[in-house]
């Protein structure tokens, strides 16, 4: 018997559309409509329309009507971060299962709304992540095998070797501050607009979900307390908007597990490919060092463009595995690999780290 | 005349120095101290030294004029008292890091060497490793811009006292020293956590700089692991064993083996100290710098115990 297909509505597609594309490519999910609120600005409507045109599906400027009219079972939320949770709550209240892009939210209180709505409506929620990259699957397998004993410390490095507008330069004459949203809209062209929204977001909010989800998967532990250092080290947009592009976080977790996170948008010159992304796990019987980039191949040739990464990741089917996991959760009434409560816990850890960076003291994770 | 070296506690350390000795054109071992006479003699033979003694005191009695420098390796846990004794006898001192178990003791040694007008180097070989020298040079040449984030993992097997405090006040001092060296000054914030066999130290530097150093002594037998990366405002350097390992296939999961950096670090360390002695100048990795690292390590221990941040206020670290 063929497994049933799920029809999904894309609720806002303003960022690079990797999440919607991945869902549409999976055989269990069909895109049927793009929807957003009518009062959104023109640029939002334009991007929504572009995606709808690309998939030859309608764009409806009314979320509730689209959900009602198109017989959808799933919502895929890919709006600006500050609207993520509201769209997810509305979808859950309409009885839809929800796949949501990261970050879960700018505010922990918004995450709490999602947790409540998802559980009250008994629908599935998946926060998009990278936990099914081949190296992460391998790391999980090694940890679960018991070969390194009980993990007691986990360290994640998550550097994106990308630029983000003009470099920070304290010696330049003072210019008008860079508008965050306008900068993110520009970044759409090269797909580095993960921080799109009105509210400025530092690297912890934009990308922190990924390494923190790795650590959570490998330890099964919640973070209880953090101490963090944060700074705007590279980019003028981060200086102007008082957010960090470089951070280190000490993590104190359940079961006495310790850890750290190094994260930064370190500039294109600082790595030969997308960035250094590694996980170090210390266990009672051994240790594990994993490069998230593996497997990769290297291609070098005369006349190679500086914009082309000479090291290319291969065999990455994370974008297939996540929808696969989501479908399984719906089929079996099981849990997703990163549900609303886990997403909320990560959002709270990020917020505590930002607070710690500002106060210079350790902060308990609420 | 070549600078004349005396190895204190030479028995178990002679092998590494034997490798290095032929590479030092301006220095030679002339004496070895070891409490076991046969070990002292074997070490002296391998180093080409002619004098042996079972203590520094005896060596000074028998031939104080025969040597210029004492070398006190890491395995010798009486480093500060030996360094004091040597300084009072007018001998230059090259000692492993940490120089002393407390900053007070370390400062006493620094002052003794200053009073005696002798040179004092207190360092692990970490600073002198070719990989770390290359990172430092890239930073000094402006290739990396302003240092922003230093990450260092240093893992080995259990040895000696293994509480988090022991690790911070022992081996972690070398990592802290490395961070201070690369950032060019003392950290302004210190936070640390740990457990038996493990410690991680989180440092904040002026202008937003930061360092994370973790030191584990829980690995099973075999190779250790050392990894360092430095992210600067215009570039980054990765001195990373993960990429510099070779593979062994012997059934089951393959193993990775460390290719190591040979005797280059120890050679560079000795060369620098001998040059400083000859030139009458302060050596790199001076005793005073080691005092700073020990002071930070003591702040880290206070953080471990109090679970609070310490901030630099004036010349000392205080609970935030």
Q: Where are chain B's structural domains?
A: 3-124+266-283, 127-260+294-319
pLDDT in tens, B259-275: 888 899 999 999 999 99
Q: Does A146 touch chain B if contact means CB atoms closer than 8 Å?
A: no
Parse chain A into domains and list their residue ranges: 6-123, 134-316+339-364
User: How many angstroms separate the CA of residue A217 from the nearest CA in chain B?
Assistant: 21
**Do A160 and A235 contact (CB within 8 A), yes or no?**
no
Pick from B235, B259, B226: which is nearest to B137 by CA? B235
Q: With contacts defined as CB-CB under 8 Å, which chain B residues touch A152?
A: 195, 198, 218
Instruction: Report the topology of domain A134-316+339-364.
Output: Dihydrodipicolinate Reductase; domain 2 (3.30.360)
pLDDT above 90 covers a percentage of chain B that reads 85
Contact B200 A250 (CB under 8 A): yes
The hierarchical CATH code for the domain B3-124+266-283 is 3.40.50.720
pLDDT at A222 over 60: yes
Confidence of residue B318 (pLDDT cuts 50, 70, 90): very high
**Do B198 and A282 contact (CB within 8 A), yes or no?**
yes
Provide the pLDDT for residue B260. Answer: 85
**Do A193 and A320 contact (CB within 8 A), yes or no?**
no
What does the alpha-carbon distance between residue B269 and residue A100 come to, in Å, rounded to a whole number? 55
How distant, in Å, are the alpha carbons of A250, A359, A360, B6, B107 from that of B311? 17, 12, 9, 41, 21
| Mean pLDDT, residues B183-204 | 98
* Superfamily of domain B127-260+294-319 in the CATH hierarchy: Dihydrodipicolinate Reductase; domain 2 (3.30.360.10)
Q: Helix crossing, A209-219 with A134-145: angle to 10°?
A: 20
| Mean pLDDT, residues A76-96 | 98
Q: Which of B191, B195, B207 lies at the smallest CB-CB distance from A362?
A: B191
Q: Matching CATH topology for A6-123 and A134-316+339-364?
A: no
**Do B215 and B167 contact (CB within 8 A), yes or no?**
yes
User: How many angstroms separate the CA of residue B148 from the nearest CA in chain A?
Assistant: 7
Task: Tell me, letter by letter, the H, E, C secondary structure of chain B.
Answer: CCEEEEEECCCCCHHHHHHHHHHCCCEEEEEEECCCHHHHHHHHHHHCCCEEECCHHHHHHHHHHHCCEEEECCCCCCHHHHHHHHHHCCCEEEECCCCCCCHHHHHHHHHHHHHHCCCEEECCCHHHCHHHHHHHHHHHCCCCCCEEEEEEEEECCCCCCCCHHHHHHCCHHHHHHHHHHHHCCCCCEEEEEEECCEEEEEEECHHHCEEEEEEECCCCCCCCEEEEEEEECCCEEEEEHHHCEEEECCCCCCEEEECCCCCHHHHHHHHHHHHHHHHCCCCCCEHHHHHHHHHHHHHHHHHHHHCCCEEEECCEEEEC
pLDDT at B240 over 60: yes
Q: Length of chain A, please?
A: 366
Instruction: Report chain A's mean pLDDT, rounded to a whole number.
Output: 95
Pick from B232, B216, B243: which is nearest to B182 by CA? B232
What does the alpha-carbon distance between residue A287 and residue A279 come to, in Å, rounded to a whole number? 11
Q: With contacts defined as CB-CB under 8 Å, which chain A residues touch B204?
A: 229, 360
User: How many angstroms separate the CA of residue B12 from the nearest CA in chain A?
Assistant: 28
Q: With contacts defined as CB-CB under 8 Å, which chain B residues touch A258?
A: 193-195, 198, 200
Instruction: Report chain B's mean pLDDT, rounded to a whole number.
Output: 94
**Do A28 and A5 contact (CB within 8 A), yes or no?**
yes
Residues 335-364 of A with CB under 8 A from B: 360-362
Confidence of residue A355 (pLDDT cuts 50, 70, 90): very high
A282, two tokens: 């210390």
Residue linked to tokens 């796949």: A99
| Mean pLDDT, residues A227-249 | 97
Chain B residues within 8 Å of chain A (Cβ atoms): 146, 148-149, 151, 153, 155, 189, 191, 193-195, 198, 200, 202, 204, 207-212, 214, 216, 218-220, 225, 227, 229, 231-236, 238, 242, 253, 307-309, 311, 320
Q: With contacts defined as CB-CB under 8 Å, which chain B residues touch A248?
A: 149, 151, 202, 210-212
pLDDT in tens, B44-88: 999 999 999 999 999 999 889 999 999 998 877 789 999 999 999
Beta-carbon contacts of B29 under 8 Å, excluding residues fewer than 6 positions away, are: B4, B5, B6, B7, B17, B21, B44, B47, B48, B49
Contact A250 B210 (CB under 8 A): no
Provide the pLDDT for residue A171. Answer: 63
pLDDT at A170 over 70: no
Pick from B29, B123, B39: which is nearest to B79 by CA? B123
Look at domain A6-123 and name its CATH class: alpha beta
Q: Does A158 touch chain B if contact means CB atoms closer than 8 Å?
A: no
pLDDT in tens, A195-208: 999 999 999 999 99
| Mean pLDDT, residues B91-119 | 96
**Do A354 and A228 contact (CB within 8 A), yes or no?**
yes
In terms of DSSP bridges, do strands B310-313 and B189-195 run parallel, antiparallel, or are they unpaired? antiparallel
Residue B266: phi and psi, rounded to 5, are -65, -40
Beta-carbon contacts of B259 under 8 Å, excluding residues fewer than 6 positions away, are: B244, B245, B246
DSSP label of A95: T
**Do B107 and B289 contact (CB within 8 A), yes or no?**
no
DSSP tally for chain A: helices H, then strands E: 12, 15
């Amino acid at each position: 018997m063929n497994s049933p297909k799920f029809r999904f509505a894309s609720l806002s597609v303003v960022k690079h559309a990797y999440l919607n594309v991945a869902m549409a490519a999976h055989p269990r999910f069909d895109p049927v409509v793009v929807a957003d609120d009518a009062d959104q600005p023109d640029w939002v409507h334009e991007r929504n329309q572009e995606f709808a045109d690309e998939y030859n599906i309608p764009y409806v400027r009314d979320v509730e009507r689209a959900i009602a009219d198109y017989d959808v079972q799933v919502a895929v939320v890919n709006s600006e971060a500050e609207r993520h949770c509201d769209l997810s709550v509305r979808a859950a209240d309409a009885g839809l299962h929800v796949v949501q892009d990261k970050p879960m939210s700018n505010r922990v209180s918004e995450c709490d709304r999602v947790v409540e709505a998802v559980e009250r409506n008994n629908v599935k929620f998946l926060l998009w992540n990278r936990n099914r990259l081949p190296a992460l699957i391998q790391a999980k397998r090694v940890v679960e095998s018991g070969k390194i004993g009980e993990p007691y410390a986990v360290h994640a490095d998550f550097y994106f070797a990308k630029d983000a507008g003009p470099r920070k330069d304290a010696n330049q004459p003072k210019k008008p501050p860079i508008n965050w949203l306008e900068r993110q809209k520009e970044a759409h062209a090269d797909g580095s607009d993960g921080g799109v929204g009105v509210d400025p977001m530092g690297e912890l909010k934009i990308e922190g979900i990924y390494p923190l989800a790795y650590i959570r998967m490998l330890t099964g532990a919640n973070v209880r307390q953090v101490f963090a250092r944060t700074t705007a080290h590279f980019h003028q947009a981060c200086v102007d908007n008082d957010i960090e592009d470089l951070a280190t976080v000490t993590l104190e977790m359940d079961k006495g597990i310790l850890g750290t996170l190094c994260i930064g948008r370190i500039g294109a010159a600082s790595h030969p490919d997308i960035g250094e992304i590694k996980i170090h796990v210390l266990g009672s019987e051994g240790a594990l060092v994993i490069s998230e980039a593996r497997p990769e191949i290297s291609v070098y040739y005369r006349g190679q463009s500086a914009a082309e990464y000479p090291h290319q990741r291969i065999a990455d089917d994370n974008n297939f595995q996540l929808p696969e996991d989501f479908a399984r959760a719906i089929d079996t009434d099981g849990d997703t690999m990163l549900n609303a409560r886990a997403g909320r816990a990560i959002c709270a850890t990020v917020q505590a780290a930002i607070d710690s960076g500002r106060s210079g003291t350790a902060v308990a994770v609420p | 005349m070549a600078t004349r070296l005396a190895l204190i506690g030479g028995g178990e350390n002679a092998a590494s120095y034997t490798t290095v000795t032929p590479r030092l054109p301006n220095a030679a071992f002339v004496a070895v101290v070891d409490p076991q006479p046969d070990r002292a003699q074997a070490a002296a033979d391998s180093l080409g030294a002619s004098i042996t003694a079972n203590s520094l005191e005896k060596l000074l009695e028998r031939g104080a004029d025969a040597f210029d420098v004492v070398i006190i390796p890491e395995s010798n846990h009486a480093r500060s008292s030996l360094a004091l004794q040597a300084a009072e006898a007018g001998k230059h001192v090259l000692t492993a890091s940490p120089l002393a178990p407390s900053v007070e003791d370390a400062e006493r040694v620094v002052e003794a060497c200053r009073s005696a007008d002798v040179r004092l180097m207190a360092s692990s070989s970490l600073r002198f490793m070719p990989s770390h020298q290359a990172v430092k040079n890239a930073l000094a040449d402006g290739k990396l811009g302003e240092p922003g984030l230093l990450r260092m993992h240093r893992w080995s097997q259990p040895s000696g006292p293994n509480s988090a405090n022991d690790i911070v006040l022992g081996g972690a001092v070398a990592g802290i020293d490395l961070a201070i060296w690369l950032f060019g000054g003392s950290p302004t914030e210190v936070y640390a956590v740990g457990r038996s066999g493990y410690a991680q130290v989180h440092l904040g530097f002026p202008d937003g700089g930061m360092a994370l150093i973790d030191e584990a002594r829980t690995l099973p037998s075999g190779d250790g692991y050392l990894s360092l990366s430095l992210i600067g405002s215009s570039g980054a350097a990765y001195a990373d064993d993960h990429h510099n390992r070779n593979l062994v296939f012997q059934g089951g999961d393959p193993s990775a083996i460390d290719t190591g950096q040979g005797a280059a670090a120890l050679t560079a360390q000795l060369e620098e100290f001998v040059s400083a002695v000859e030139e009458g100048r302060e050596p790199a990795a001076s005793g005073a710098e080691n005092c700073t690292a020990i002071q930070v390590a003591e702040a880290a221990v206070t953080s471990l115990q109090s679970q609070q941040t310490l901030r630099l206020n004036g010349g000392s670290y205080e609970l935030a």
